Each structure stands twice: as structure tokens, then as C-alpha cells.
């Protein structure tokens, strides 16, 4: 993802790439074994490596790639390679009647099993000399290990031109990693495949690039038993014993005919036992006060379960557990007496809880003064006159809203626990102490746990749960709370802010959990604290030693390591030898040194435009020479600085990187990418110049942005970036000239996928554009290169758009060009209404100056529709006019005039008339028909009372109309959002109302409407013009890039063969 200034910027190494990219780079340099537990990562590396070597495979006599894997994955991988590359691929499942020479000649990639590969080897067919890549996926254990060893013996016999080997191993970095076994397994794999194991993975990336927080284990005593603790534990164990002894066998009660249904009934003991286990764990780990809070939470959960449960026995056992929870609370209330809330916590909590509160107290921010509290009076619930926190039944005041200062030393803590119940109790604990103890007033806490509601069974509740969790994370990211309590759900996969304190309230159970939770401490000088009881300490120290050995083993075999301390100190000695680069001569002005150059380069890359899923990183490489190291660096592709920067020969890798970065910073400043303060110049700092102001107005949001220097996160909609629009060369300076040959292209529109019935809410007729003889074309004095058909998405469904050359020698007079220009002006100004303030229509001086013309297609071909051009030219200045009652006395309704028509009610909005498609002529309605609603009795009365218009023809049919489309972007389907997620469809009841209820329709009277000269079929095509022309320009630009690549580096053909785009888009 893109990095913002507020995130950590790496100082000793260039911003790392995604670990998959690092593995790919390692695979290109040496024989590599990749350890990945995800099939997606393995497929990515394999396919990308095939693409890297594809230049050697393109000819019939070129090299070939061999892909060996398990039988069940052969067809899957073949399909993936066929879909993700353009390489011919085949899978072999038998050697019988096999034309091996033909297969090798016609296919670049051969996918097969280890068994088939051995048979080919024995038959003398397989020869490694014509292979450039050998990929082996998960065939490295058991019987197949022996087969692979036989293949590798043949590999060892080769002296030169050995194929590159890529081994893919899953499960090596699994949950149960033992140092000795891990090292032994890696050595075995390296011997087997004659390769090196590269342990780069998401886990190892965390180990390499985390901020290495201060790590401490905090020991605490076990709880001294108190009478209340013993009483509560006795109640819980007694209830648990009762549940375990409970017998539930429905077959003893019901006959065999219900046996199938009874097997689907869940065990009624499961949920009660789970609740009791959670309460018992809280009691033993946190103490009686926490058990009291957990019992309260359990009571609320049980009541919800009782409402949903459909079985009587389950309901009865839940009632029994509910009684136990009430008993626990009653015992706690009796033991607590009239103690203050803080006294309850101090006396009835375990040393582990008290140590946790001490830790929170020690991390109180410096110079933190309590702001004035604003308490909402409506939130007060007073049980007695004594408003003390310790009173029975006293709920306290609603949480006060306090403004918290944002600074670098503000606490941002993350507390990890194992289960939901503990998370809720700790949340209650911190909320309570923040209200009842002045030392904790600054604490603001939230909690998040894993989702438990099944979306398929309870979609509404699941959606509510998801939104609640997202809101909690949003508040944490916005620093509206400073302590987040979470289960393992936040160990990975969530974008969280920089934490300076991570507390493992419950010790990690695996190496993965340990590393992922520690990596959440993302601030320099942050802390990672593990709380352990006396009983846990010795075992955990042994486990921690194991984790350290595993960590060292993984890092040793990772080929992208951070510099060690010795390397840093050696590089630091050379820093004073080179003077800092200072853009200005003013004393004390910003400068860059060897030690800060890498950080500045990373900072610059983070400011380059990108989306939220792209990590822009410099591409660098270290070359080892006899006397030292040389570093070469290239900036990301969208940086204007394209040079490859190299360092001189230097004795240290880190020093070589620093010198290269130092040279790069100077280049960036000279190129204007860094200002005189050595800050990256971003496009969001765009300032409208005087010339800009004279030529176009900015929208309000843009105008506000030019006045403010607001930093927004890259890749978000709040960060605007400005680019000059590029026009394809084929569309530049192409205005038709009088009496000279002109190219005439027809825009062909074909409905390929009608709108699904469930999306057609109003049940409207589908209008295939190919059924209408009228359309649009392009007139230009330059030929347009062939482009592929592309889809757009209209009200009628998915439409394929193509460009067809009708004539290359169309002759136009000056009068013809003038009338067509007026037609273009009318179409885009009066029909599409795209004219904006200060825009002037001058097609002869515009950069993109081709003309749009109406066309007419019949069996004889397609021609320019001059009759329609003349009609528009003559009526281009006509606006709807009011027609008096006297002039409408003789009005006669002609249905044929309104079929495929666009109408305008002339009695309203005459300066900006509204246009409507005539969807249906309602033969069952006339002006005397009942008007929908209760305010007017008939349509005739409605117009008379509201507009003072008397309808003259009472027998005319009424028109059911639809608004002409205000949407001009048809590049994405109408029934999905911007992310491609399907929008919810209307219910059958809503569809029926929109199709049958007049209140859901727009009804017009023909007598009171003017008919637009554009027919409805042509208007529907006209609204597609902006996105069609936009996409044509984009495809032509892409073709320019393709031709440039073909010319300059010889990749691909400069001129595509005839008929390349004959197949239409499907």
C-alpha cells in the first residue's frame, strides 16, 4: 500500500517491496525454494517467473518450461497459466501415443506429474538442454521425493546451460515450528533440489522490518484465595458437573420416523458448558470482581440465545445457567457491600489485573492536564442520594467526552487476550477506573473480538456486527480512543495506527502469534510487554527461547536482510567525509547527508501518486566486486527522474546504498521533484496559475484545496491529484477540411447482454441500439487505427461498441462542415448539457477537433444523415413556448408522433426544459381519469388548479414517461457499485408498486408537451457519446504505448495483422 508521511519511513534500507516480489527477484538470480503456505502466493511466483523467462520461449525452437506437481493440481495450474499468460500450455496425463516432439514444438509450458516425468526420462524423450525453467511444487516428500531425486541426478550430469529451478513448498512455516527440525528440513530440501531456501514471507517481513520494541516479561503472583473466590468456583463447578451428567437422547422419546430430523439437533450441553468455562477462566485469571462483570455479560447473551433457540431442552438448560449467573452476582453483591468501586477492584482482583493497571498508570502521557468535563444531564441515573461509585445499583454517568491532544507521546496501546469474555471484562475494567480514579481520567478504551454471527443465517445481525467492529476500528485509527483490547483478530490483516505499547495480557500460544503481535508496535522506542504468572513463567521462557531460535533460523535464510549494527557503525564513520547537500546558502537551511539520504528517497517514493493497494519502492541492486560493493538504483516508474543511479566501489553494502541515495536526492532536487526545503513536491500542492484562472474555473472542492495545503492519505478520494489530459495522436489536429477527402467512421453499438429481469425494476422495454437505423459517426481528416470492441452498460444492458470505417474519401463542403459543427454544438450543449461556464465552442482550434455526425443505416449501407442535420440546424435555437387554450382547441392526438419520442412539458422550466423518454402510451388513461392521491380528483383538475391550464382534448391518451439519463458514465454496470459489488435489488412488492401504482410513475398529457427533434432511440445513443469517445481515446493511447514498446525494445509487432480485432467483445 502507499505510505503516508505519518507512517514509519525506513532509514537504513530502501522501502521494502512485497515479499512475493522479493521472492520472485531471488528466483531469477539463483535456484530457489520458496516456503509459502498459501496457494495464491505460490501461483503468483510461478506465473511471474514464467513471464520473466517467456522471451526465451516464444519461438517454436525456443526454450521450454517444465512444471511438475501433484496429480490433483495439474489441470488447475494449467488453467491458471493459460488465463494469466499468453504462453501456449499443455498438461500431460499419459505417455501412450504421445507426440513429444510436436508437444515441445507447439507449447511453451508443459505441466505434468513426477511419475510422468520419470517415464519420459526413461523413454529418452525428456532432455534438460531445451529447458530454461524447472518448477517443482509440493513433490518433495514421501515416494515422490525419490522420483525427484532421480530427476536431479540427470540434472547434475549437465555441465552448462542448466535450467533455473524453482521449488514450491507449503507448510514449512506452519504453526508448529521446532528449530532443530526446521533447520534439518531446510537442509534436506536444499540437497534434494540443489537450491537455496528463501524464507521471505509475511512473517519474516515482520521480523525484518518491525521497529524492534523494548521487550519485557512482567511476572506477577498467583491470587491468594479468598472466601468469595472459593464460593463462586464451587457454584460454577457444581453447575458444570450437573450439565456433564445431563443425558439427552431424543431417540428414547420419539419414534424412528423422526430419527433423521433429530440427528440435526445440536447437543444442548455445548452452549451452557462454553459459558461456564468462560466464567471459570475469568474467575481464575482475573478474580471475583471480573467474574461478576462476566456474569452480567453472560446474562445478556443468554437472554438473546433463549429468544432464538427452537428446542425446549436447550431452553431449559439456558434457564438453569441464567440462574447460576444470577447466583454469582448475588454472592458478589453481598461480599462487595458498600465498598467503593476502586476498593472492590483492589480487594477482589488477581495480582495480574492489578499489575495490568500499574502498567497503564505508568504510561500516562506527560504534561497531560484534565480538560473540563461535559456531562449530559439526561444520562444521570441516581439510585440514592449518595452518588458514590461504590453504591449498589449505581450505574454512574455516561462516559464524558474529552478533547485529547494529539502529540507524539500520546499513548496508543493494544492489549491482546485469548477470548471474547476476557476482552469485554478488561474493557469494563478500564472504563470503570477511568471514571472512578483521577489517575486514569485520560484512559479511553474500546474492544474488538472475532465475528461469531453466521451471515447466511442471520444476515441483518451479521451486518450490524460488522458495522460495529468497523466503527470501533475507525475510532481507534482516529485516536478517539487510546487503548484497544482485542483478541487475535487484530494480530494481522487490519490497518491499524502506530502503536507505542503492546501488552500480551494472555501469553502468545504460537510463534506466529508472538511475531504478529510484537510487530504491531510500530513506533521507535515502543514497548512490547508480556504478563506472566508464577506458574507460567518458566515454561514461557523456554518457549521464548524456542521462538528466538526459529527467528534466527528464518532470518539467516532470508536474502533481503537489514544491516547489522557493525555494518551501520562502519558506514557511519564515512558520513563526515562527504559534505551535506544544501540547496540554499542560507545558514541553517535544510540539507541532506549520507545518513539521511535513504530516508528522503523513501519519503519521496511515498509521495508519488498511487492507489491504496500499491507500494511504490525504488528498485535497487547490490553488485559484489573483488574490492567492494556497487549499488544501482532506479526510482518507481511514475517518477520523472528516469536515470539509473550508481555508487562508486565502496567497502560496505550500507555505505553503497547511502551514497546512491545521496546522489539520487541531488538529481531529484535538480529535476524539481524536491523543493528547496528538500520536501517532495506533490501534485496535491497544485496551485492554479493566472493563466489557469483565465481559462477555466475550479470546482468548489478544488478551489478550496488550492487555498489550503492539506495532507491527505495517498490513494483516497480526499487527496486530489492533477494530470494534464493526453489526446491520442490520431485525434490531434484532425478537423475535416473543405473539398478534401475525409474519413467517415460509424460507431457500431450492439446489445450483447440485456439487463437482467431482477434489475429491470419498472419492467421497461429493452431497446437494442442495433434495431434503430439512426446513429452516430466520426468525421476526421486522419485515419484512426483499428481498436478492439469494448463494452458499455446502458439502461438496456451491456452494449458492445466498435468503430467501423465506412468511407475514406468523403468530400465535405465548407457549408457541410459548418452545419455538422452546429449539430455537434447542439448535441453537446442542448441535449447532453455539457457546456460549462467560460467554455467556448471552437472546433477548428481545439486539439481534438474531429466532428460527430448523425448517420442512417439501411440495406445499402451507412451514410451521413443530412436530412436530420438540416432539421437540427433549422430548429437549433427553438425553445418550448407556451400554447394558449385557444390555440389548442383543435388539438388532435396522433399516437404515431409519440412512439420513440422525447417530450418536453412546455408549461414549466422553459429556460431549462426537462426531457422525458415516452416509455408507454397509456390507452387506459385520459385527462378525466382519476389522479393519484387525494388532493385532486382528475388529471384535468390537477392542471387547471396548479397551472391554470384547461385541457382541450379529453379523449387523448396519457404518456407514461422516464427521465432522460443524467448519468453519462456507462463504463461500469448500473447494478454494481464502484468496487464491483452488486447493489441490493428491489423487492417484488416494490417492483409491483413501480409498475402498477400511478403514484410511482411520471404521467404527462400529450397536449401539453412539445416533441423534441431527437427521437428517443437516437437520444439513448447520444448520452453514450461522452464515455464512448473517452474510451476510444484511451484505447488509442494504449495502442500508441504498444507501438512505442514494439519500436524501441522490439517487443511485439509494430503493425498488427489485419483482422486482429474481428472477434467482438463478449
Kindly report the number of other CB atoms within 10 A of residue 818's CB atom.
13
Kindly report the number of other CB atoms within 10 A of residue 1060's CB atom.
11
Q: Are strands 196-198 and 214-220 parallel, antiparallel or unpaired?
A: unpaired
Q: Which run of H or of E encompasses 323? A: helix 312-336
Are 521 and 209 spatial neighbours (Cβ–Cβ below 8 Å)?
Answer: no
Give the distance, in angstroms, between the CA of residue 217 and the centroid of all CA atoms in the same chain: 38
* CA-wise closest residue to 631 among 615, 651, 617: 651
Please identify which residue in the block is written with the cell numbers 517443482.
136
Query: Can you give 620-644 as a three-state secondary structure string?
Result: EEEEECCCCEEEEEECCCCCCCCCC
Cell digits for 423? 476482552
Please identify which residue in the block is written with the cell numbers 526413461.
122
CA distances from 935 to 1, 22, 635, 939, 959 (A): 58, 72, 70, 11, 21
pLDDT at 725: 81
Measured distance CA(132)–CA(62) in Å, rounded: 9
Measured distance CA(718)–CA(712) in Å, rounded: 6
pLDDT at 218: 92
Are 511 and 177 spatial neighbours (Cβ–Cβ below 8 Å)?
Answer: yes
Residues of the chain with CATH 3.30.160.20: 569-681
Q: What is the dihedral of CA 611, 615, 616, 621, to 10 degrees?
A: -160
Measured distance CA(69)–CA(73) in Å, rounded: 7
Q: What is the dihedral of CA 54, 59, 60, 64, to 10 degrees?
A: -20
Q: Where are the beta strands (DSSP E) in 981-1035?
A: 1002-1004, 1009-1011
Superfamily of domain 886-1022: paz domain (2.170.260.10)
* CA-wise closest residue to 132 among 79, 62, 78: 62
566 contacts: CB under 8 Å, gap ≥ 6: none
Residue 611 CB-density burial (10 A; 0-12 exposed, 13-18 middle, 19+ buried):
exposed
Give backbone dihedrals phi and psi of 15, rounded to 5 degrees, phi first.
-50, 125
Are 46 and 117 spatial neighbours (Cβ–Cβ below 8 Å)?
Answer: no
Q: Are strands 64-68 and 131-137 parallel, antiparallel or unpaired?
A: parallel
- What is the side-by-side strand order in the sheet with 958-963? 1002-1004, 958-963, 916-922, 902-905, 1009-1011
Measured distance CA(306)–CA(308) in Å, rounded: 6
Residues of the chain with CATH 2.170.260.10: 886-1022
Domain covering 215-222+350-368+405-559: architecture: 3-Layer(aba) Sandwich (3.40)
- In sign, the C-alpha dihedral spanning 290, 296, 302, 304 is negative
Measured distance CA(840)–CA(44) in Å, rounded: 51
pLDDT at 289: 95
Helix axes 39-52, 19-29, angle to 10 degrees: 40
Helix axes 534-556, 202-209, angle to 10 degrees: 100
Give backbone dihedrals phi and psi of 440, rounded to 5 degrees, phi first.
-115, 20
CATH number among 2.60.120.10, 3.40.50.300, 3.40.50.720, 3.40.630.10, domain 19-200: 3.40.50.300
Measured distance CA(491)–CA(499) in Å, rounded: 12
- What is the side-by-side strand order in the sheet with 741-754? 790-794, 797-811, 741-754, 774-780, 851-858, 861-864
Measured distance CA(613)–CA(729) in Å, rounded: 32
914 contacts: CB under 8 Å, gap ≥ 6: 904, 905, 908, 963
Measured distance CA(423)–CA(420) in Å, rounded: 5
Residue 584 CB-density burial (10 A; 0-12 exposed, 13-18 middle, 19+ buried):
exposed
CA distances from 1051 to 46, 90, 105, 131, 1043 (A): 22, 24, 21, 22, 9
CATH number among 3.30.160.20, 3.10.180.10, 3.40.50.2300, 3.40.720.10, domain 569-681: 3.30.160.20
Q: Where are the beta strands (DSSP E) in 443-574?
A: 445-448, 483-486, 501-504, 527-533
**Threshold 0.85, pTM exceeds:** no
DSSP 8-class letter at 264: T
How far from each other are the two terminal CA atoms of the chain, in whole angstroms? 33
Compute mean pLDDT per 10 residues along the chain, 1066 residues long, and list them. 43 68 85 82 89 87 90 90 90 86 90 90 85 86 83 86 89 69 86 87 72 88 88 93 84 67 80 92 93 93 87 89 94 91 92 93 76 46 39 42 49 90 94 90 90 81 86 86 88 72 91 86 86 91 89 76 76 87 87 90 85 76 88 90 92 91 93 90 50 47 50 54 80 92 95 82 84 95 91 91 93 94 92 78 84 94 94 85 82 91 86 86 91 88 90 91 82 71 67 70 91 93 93 93 88 73 40
Give backbone dihedrals phi and psi of 504, rounded to 5 degrees, phi first.
-95, 90
Domain covering 223-338: architecture: Up-down Bundle (1.20)
Residues of the chain with CATH 3.40.50.300: 19-200, 215-222+350-368+405-559
Question: What is 889-919 written as a DSSP string?
Answer: TT----GGGTTT-EEEETTS-SSS---EEEE
DSSP 8-class letter at 935: S
Measured distance CA(326)–CA(332) in Å, rounded: 10
Q: Which run of H or of E encompasses 920? A: strand 916-922
Residue 421 CB-density burial (10 A; 0-12 exposed, 13-18 middle, 19+ buried):
buried
Amino acid at each position: 500500500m502507499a505510505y503516508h508521511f505519518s507512517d514509519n519511513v525506513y532509514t537504513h534500507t530502501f522501502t521494502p517491496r512485497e515479499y512475493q516480489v522479493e521472492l520472485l527477484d531471488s528466483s531469477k538470480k539463483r535456484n530457489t525454494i520458496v516456503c509459502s503456505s498459501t496457494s495464491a502466493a505460490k501461483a503468483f511466483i510461478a506465473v511471474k517467473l514464467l513471464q520473466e523467462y517467456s522471451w526465451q520461449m516464444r519461438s517454436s525452437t525456443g526454450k521450454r518450461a517444465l512444471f511438475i506437481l501433484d496429480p490433483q493440481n495439474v489441470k488447475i495450474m494449467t488453467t491458471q497459466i493459460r488465463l494469466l499468460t499468453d504462453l501456449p500450455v499443455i498438461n500431460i496425463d499419459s505417455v501412450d501415443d504421445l507426440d513429444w516432439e510436436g508437444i515441445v514444438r507447439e507449447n511453451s509450458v508443459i505441466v505434468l506429474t513426477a511419475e510422468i516425468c520419470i517415464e519420459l526420462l526413461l523413454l529418452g524423450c525428456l532432455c534438460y538442454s531445451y529447458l530454461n525453467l524447472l518448477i517443482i511444487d509440493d513433490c518433495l516428500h514421501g515416494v515422490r521425493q525419490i522420483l525427484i531425486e532421480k530427476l536431479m541426478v540427470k540434472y547434475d550430469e549437465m555441465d552448462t546451460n542448466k535450467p533455473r529451478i524453482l521449488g514450491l513448498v507449503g507448510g514449512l512455516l506452519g504453526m508448529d515450528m521446532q528449530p532443530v527440525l526446521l533447520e534439518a528440513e531446510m537442509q534436506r530440501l536444499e540437497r534434494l533440489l540443489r537450491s537455496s531456501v528463501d524464507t521471505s514471507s509475511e512473517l519474516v517481513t515482520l521480523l525484518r522490518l518491525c521497529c524492534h520494541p523494548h521487550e519485557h516479561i512482567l511476572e506477577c503472583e498467583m491470587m491468594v484465595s479468598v472466601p468469595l473466590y472459593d464460593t463462586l468456583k464451587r457454584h460454577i463447578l457444581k453447575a458444570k458437573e450437573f450439565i456433564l451428567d445431563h443425558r439427552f437422547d431424543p431417540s428414547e422419546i420419539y419414534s424412528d420416523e423422526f430419527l433423521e430430523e433429530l440427528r440435526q439437533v445440536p447437543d444442548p450441553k455445548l452452549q451452557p458448558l462454553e459459558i461456564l468455562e468462560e466464567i471459570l477462566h475469568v474467575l481464575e485469571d482475573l478474580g471475583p470482581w471480573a467474574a461478576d462483570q462476566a456474569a452480567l455479560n453472560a446474562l445478556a447473551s443468554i437472554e438473546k440465545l433463549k429468544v432464538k433457540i427452537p428446542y425446549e431442552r436447550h431452553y431449559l438448560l439456558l434457564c438453569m445457567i441464567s440462574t447460576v449467573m444470577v447466583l454469582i452476582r448475588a454472592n458478589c453483591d453481598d461480599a462487595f457491600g458498600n465498598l467503593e468501586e476502586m476498593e472492590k477492584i483492589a480487594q477482589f482482583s488477581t495480582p495480574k489485573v492489578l499489575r495490568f493497571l500499574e502498567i497503564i498508570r505508568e504510561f500516562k502521557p506527560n504534561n497531560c492536564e484534565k480538560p473540563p468535563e461535559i456531562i449530559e444531564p439526561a444520562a444521570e441515573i441516581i439510585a440514592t442520594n449518595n452518588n458514590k461509585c461504590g453504591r449498589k445499583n449505581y450505574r454512574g454517568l455516561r462516559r464524558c467526552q474529552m478533547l485529547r491532544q494529539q502529540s507524539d507521546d500520546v499513548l496508543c496501546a493494544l492489549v491482546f487476550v485469548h477470548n471474547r469474555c476476557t476482552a469485554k471484562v478488561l474493557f469494563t475494567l478500564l472504563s470503570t477506573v477511568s471514571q472512578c480514579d483521577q489517575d486514569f481520567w485520560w484512559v479511553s478504551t474500546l474492544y474488538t473480538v472475532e465475528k461469531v454471527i453466521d451471515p447466511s443465517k442471520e444476515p441483518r445481525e451479521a451486518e450490524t456486527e460488522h458495522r460495529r467492529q468497523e466503527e470501533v476500528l475507525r475510532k481507534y485509527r482516529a485516536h478517539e480512543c487510546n487503548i484497544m483490547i482485542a483478541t487475535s483478530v487484530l494480530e494481522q490483516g487490519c490497518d491499524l495506527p502506530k502503536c507505542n505499547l503492546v501488552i500480551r495480557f494472555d501469553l502468545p500460544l504460537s510463534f506466529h502469534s508472538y511475531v504478529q503481535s510484537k510487530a504491531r508496535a510500530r513506533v521507535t522506542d515502543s514497548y512490547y510487554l508480556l504478563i506472566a504468572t508464577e506458574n507460567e513463567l518458566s515454561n514461557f521462557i523456554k518457549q521464548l527461547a524456542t521462538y528466538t531460535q526459529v527467528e534466527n533460523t528464518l532470518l539467516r535464510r532470508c536474502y533481503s536482510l537489514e544491516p547489522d549494527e557493525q555494518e551501520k557503525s562502519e558506514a557511519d564513520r564515512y558520513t563526515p567525509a562527504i559534505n551535506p547537500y544544501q540547496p540554499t546558502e542560507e545558514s541553517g537551511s535544510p540539507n541532506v547527508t549520507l545518513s539521511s539520504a535513504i530516508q528522503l528517497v523513501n519519503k519521496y517514493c511515498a509521495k508519488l501518486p498511487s492507489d491504496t493497494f500499491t507500494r511504490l519502492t525504488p528498485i535497487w541492486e547490490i553488485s559484489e566486486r573483488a574490492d567492494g560493493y556497487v549499488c544501482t538504483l532506479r526510482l518507481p516508474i511514475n517518477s520523472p527522474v528516469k536515470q539509473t543511479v550508481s555508487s562508486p566501489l565502496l567497502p560496505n553494502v550500507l555505505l553503497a546504498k547511502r551514497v546512491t541515495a545521496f546522489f539520487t536526492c541531488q538529481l531529484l532536487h535538480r529535476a524539481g521533484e524536491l523543493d528547496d526545503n528538500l520536501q517532495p513536491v506533490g501534485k496535491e500542492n497544485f496551485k492554479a496559475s493566472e493563466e489557469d484562472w483565465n481559462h477555466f474555473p475550479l470546482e468548489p472542492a478544488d478551489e478550496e484545496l488550492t487555498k489550503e495545503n492539506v495532507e491527505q492519505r495517498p490513494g483516497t478520494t480526499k487527496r486530489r491529484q492533477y494530470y494534464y489530459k493526453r489526446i491520442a495522436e490520431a485525434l490531434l489536429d484532425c478537423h475535416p477540411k473543405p473539398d478534401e477527402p475525409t474519413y467517415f467512421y460509424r460507431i457500431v453499438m450492439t446489445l450483447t447482454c440485456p439487463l437482467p429481469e431482477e434489475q429491470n425494476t419498472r419492467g421497461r422495454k429493452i431497446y437494442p441500439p442495433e434495431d434503430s437505423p439512426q446513429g452516430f459517426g466520426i468525421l476526421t481528416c486522419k485515419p484512426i487505427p483499428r481498436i478492439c470492441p469494448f463494452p458499455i452498460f446502458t439502461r438496456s444492458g451491456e452494449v458492445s461498441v466498435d468503430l467501423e470505417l465506412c468511407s475514406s474519401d468523403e468530400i465535405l463542403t465548407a457549408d457541410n462542415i459548418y452545419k455538422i459543427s452546429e449539430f455537434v454544438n447542439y448535441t453537446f450543449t442542448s441535449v447532453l448539457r455539457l457546456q460549462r461556464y467560460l467554455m467556448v465552442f471552437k472546433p477548428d482550434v481545439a486539439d481534438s477537433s474531429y466532428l460527430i455526425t448523425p448517420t442512417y443505416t439501411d440495406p445499402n449501407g451507412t451514410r451521413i444523415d443530412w436530412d436530420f442535420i438540416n432539421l437540427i440546424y433549422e430548429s437549433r435555437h427553438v425553445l418550448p413556448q407556451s400554447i394558449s387554450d385557444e390555440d389548442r382547441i383543435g388539438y388532435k392526438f396522433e399516437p404515431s408522433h409519440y412512439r420513440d419520442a422525447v417530450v418536453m412539458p412546455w408549461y414549466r422550466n422553459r429556460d431549462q426544459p426537462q426531457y422525458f423518454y415516452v416509455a408507454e402510451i397509456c390507452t387506459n388513461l385520459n385527462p378525466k381519469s382519476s389522479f393519484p392521491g387525494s388532493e385532486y380528483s382528475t388529471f384535468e383538475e390537477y392542471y387547471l388548479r396548479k397551472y391554470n391550464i384547461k385541457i382541450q382534448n379529453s379523449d387523448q391518451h396519457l404518456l407514461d414517461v422516464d427521465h432522460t439519463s443524467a448519468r453519462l458514465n456507462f463504463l461500469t454496470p448500473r447494478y454494481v457499485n464502484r468496487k464491483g459489488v452488486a447493489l441490493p435489488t428491489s423487492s417484488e412488492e416494490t417492483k409491483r408498486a413501480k409498475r402498477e401504482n400511478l403514484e410511482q410513475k411520471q404521467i404527462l398529457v400529450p397536449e401539453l408537451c412539445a416533441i423534441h427533434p431527437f427521437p428517443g432511440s437516437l437520444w439513448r445513443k447520444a448520452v453514450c457519446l461522452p464515455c464512448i469517445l473517452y474510451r476510444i481515446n484511451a484505447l488509442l493511447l494504449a495502442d500508441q504505448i504498444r507501438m512505442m514498446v514494439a519500436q524501441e525494445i522490439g517487443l511485439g509487432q509494430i503493425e498488427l495483422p489485419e483482422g486482429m480485432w474481428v472477434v467482438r467483445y463478449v
